[in-house]
Structure 1
Amino acid sequence: MAVQTGLGEPRGPWFVSPELDPDGRARREAEAAARDGAARRWRGRLLTAFAVIVLSTVSGATAGGWVASRGGAPGETAASAAPVPAELVTAAERTVPGVVSVLAGGAGTGGAGTGGGATGSGFAIDDQQHIITNDHILAKGGGGSVTVELPDGRRYTAEVVGREPSSDLAVLRVPPSAGLSPLPLAKPGTTRVGEPVLAVGSPLGLAGTVTAGIVSAVDRQVRLGQNRHTAVQTDASINPGNSGGPLVNARGEVVGVNTAIATIDGNGSIGIGFAIPIEQVQQTADTIIGKGG
């Protein structure tokens, strides 16, 4: 029976290099095997193709007549099907510049690092260059130094302003020269089930990654580590390394901080992710910044 587990490691073992196919063989070897198999199957496919041509001719003529009777040309409906919502494109363009990669302890850009290092994401919350991220990233970094990498590749050693393990949130700060654009925050209580959202961050070290989904549930009671949380549930793809990054709505407003994924047998995202609600994030950030400056 499959076993549900919680948050994955900052870099999961299920990541496969683009040069390998899923079973680990070199892609060229897999392609050669595929060509051999195709040569043995061509005769059967040829017969099938004749049948498809006949069927397509009849059905195409019928469909073309129906579309023409409605004042449109054949192909127009297919070409315009499921367009990417313009508001999500705009939201992504506005969000990515304010999202950073967080490297804690011995972590580096090429891997999980040494000495218990960890990687994750974060985002600017104000014009004072304060950055929100997850506390568990810093905890896995073993209390070592924290580096923030900007979208343009610049790196800064970050000051840890404060941490609150119970809410799994932490606040960092980088020098004013970083020039990060703060992300707008959604108003408390405005997140709705079914609304489209984007998860932005650095899953598996791939900075600036944007995935889309919807809000699957709000006020979801979940256990994260040793603490219970009220979370926003989403089916936007969240993977190790997304932790600490923003979940934003179609207006580009942050509705939560991506924190955890449900997994089965540790095999990565299964479409059930959790974010700390913006109400909790704002309250905790204000408290930490108020104490730490």
Structure 2
Amino acid sequence: MPPHVPHMHRPPQWQSPLLAPAPMQPATPAALSKRRRVGRVAAAIVAAVGLSAVSAFGGGYAALELRPSTNHTVVSAQNSAGSGSTSTLSNVAAQVLPSVVSISTGSAVGSGVIITTDGAILTNNHVVATARGTTVQVTFSDGKSAMASIVGTDPSTDLAVVKVRAGGTYTPLAFGDSSTVHVGDTVLAVGSPLGLDGSVTSGIVSALNRTIDEGQDGRTGATKITGAIQTDAAINPGNSGGALVNTSGQLIGINTAIATSGDTAGNIGVGFAISSNTAKAVADQLLG
């Protein structure tokens, strides 16, 4: 019998935009264990946002089994790039967390980034695409919630802006210049993977200027993201629309998608973020 060569020529698969299910009650160990028994879901590019919005994207996807990670560490301060100290990454996480929110559309949960003091929030278009109407619920890092109106969407770049309807002053996250990002830079991914608000993971920039084609299943008018940042920081369903930040706590990307090997639909350390320069330009246009 010839030797088995494991998947030497099998190309990576992309998972389709998915959203984490909107929690009916606070997550408990029992509830988290139930999430491991997720059935077969539609997939072809998997964007990192959650599990319950599959039907909103129609058919045409290859079936994959999605097995969420059982590691639910809320904040990981480990510096996988080998530069900087744990305390430095802890400080960055503390600085960024108040500017990252959880977004619930009623049927699913994603993430968002506060970008103005009056409550404008940048997220992915596919996060708000499942909204029932023109509003979504936003949950802040302190646990408080508010309703937000959808200001505008740009499906061509998979970006959207919502704005908190209540008055108040909010903590925006400063934009960094994504053109100055280098392969090997330390980054943190912040969001609500699997509905776990305020989760932080660390990694490095693995590659730059990737093109992510969400139309690999043959759909027309599907999104093609260019200039994406590739990272090995863990990105999972629920992270979509969340922040990818540098060690100065600046936004360098909006977490959007993950690739899979074909053997597993979970995170394999290949995630993608829309560059901050693209995100800022689109947000400025949507805010008018």
The two structures have a TM-score, normalised by structure 2, of 0.69
| Residues 278-287 or 215-224, more deviating | 215-224
Is it true that 1:263 corresponds to 2:260 in the alignment? yes
In the other structure, the counterpart of 1:215 is 205
Distance 1:224 1:160, change over 3 A: same
**Residues 34-53 of structure 1: matches in 2 within 5 Å?**
none
- The partner residue of 1:193 within 169, 174, 183 is 183
Is it true that 1:202 corresponds to 2:192 in the alignment? yes
Aligned length: 220
Equivalent position SS for 1:262: strand
Q: Tell me the amino acid that sits aligned with residue 179 of structure 1.
A: T
Listed one character per residue, the Cα deviations across residues 91-117 of structure 1 (whole Å, up to 9, x for unaligned) are 11100011100011x2xxxxxxxxxx2
Q: CA deviation at 1:167?
A: 0.5
In the other structure, the counterpart of 1:237 is 234
Structure 1, unmatched stretches of 5+, are 25-80, 107-116
- The partner residue of 2:271 within 270, 273, 277 is 273
**Residues 69-80 of structure 1: matches in 2 within 5 Å?**
none
Distance 1:142 1:159, change over 3 A: closer
Q: Tell me the amino acid that sits aligned with residue 250 of structure 2.
A: E
| Residues 225-234 or 130-139, more deviating | 225-234
Q: Tell me the amino acid that sits aligned with residue 99 of structure 1.
A: V
- The partner residue of 2:137 within 114, 139, 147 is 147
Structure 2, unmatched stretches of 5+, are 1-6, 22-26, 38-81, 216-221
| Contact in 1 for aligned 2:178/2:253 (Cα 8 Å) | no
Q: Tell me the amino acid that sits aligned with residue 112 of structure 2.
A: G
- The partner residue of 1:253 within 244, 250, 260 is 250
**Residues 57-76 of structure 1: matches in 2 within 5 Å?**
none
Listed one character per residue, the Cα deviations across residues 10-41 of structure 1 (whole Å, up to 9, x for unaligned) are 238xxx974559998xxxxxxxxxxxxxxxxx
Equivalent position SS for 2:201: strand
- The partner residue of 2:156 within 166, 173, 181 is 166
Listed one character per residue, the Cα deviations across residues 53-85 of structure 1 (whole Å, up to 9, x for unaligned) are xxxxxxxxxxxxxxxxxxxxxxxxxxxx99843
| Contact in 1 for aligned 2:122/2:162 (Cα 8 Å) | yes
Higher strand share: 2
Higher relative contact order (CA 8 A, sep 6+): 2
The two structures have a TM-score, normalised by structure 1, of 0.68
Listed one character per residue, the Cα deviations across residues 184-216 of structure 1 (whole Å, up to 9, x for unaligned) are 111241111100000000001100000000000
| Contact in 2 for aligned 1:163/1:171 (Cα 8 Å) | yes
**Residues 9-158 of structure 1: matches in 2 within 5 Å?**
9-11=18-20, 18-19=29-30, 84-104=85-105, 106=106, 117-143=107-133, 145-158=135-148
Same amino acid, percent of matched pairs: 43
Q: Tell me the amino acid that sits aligned with residue 4 of structure 1.
A: Q
In the other structure, the counterpart of 1:74 is none
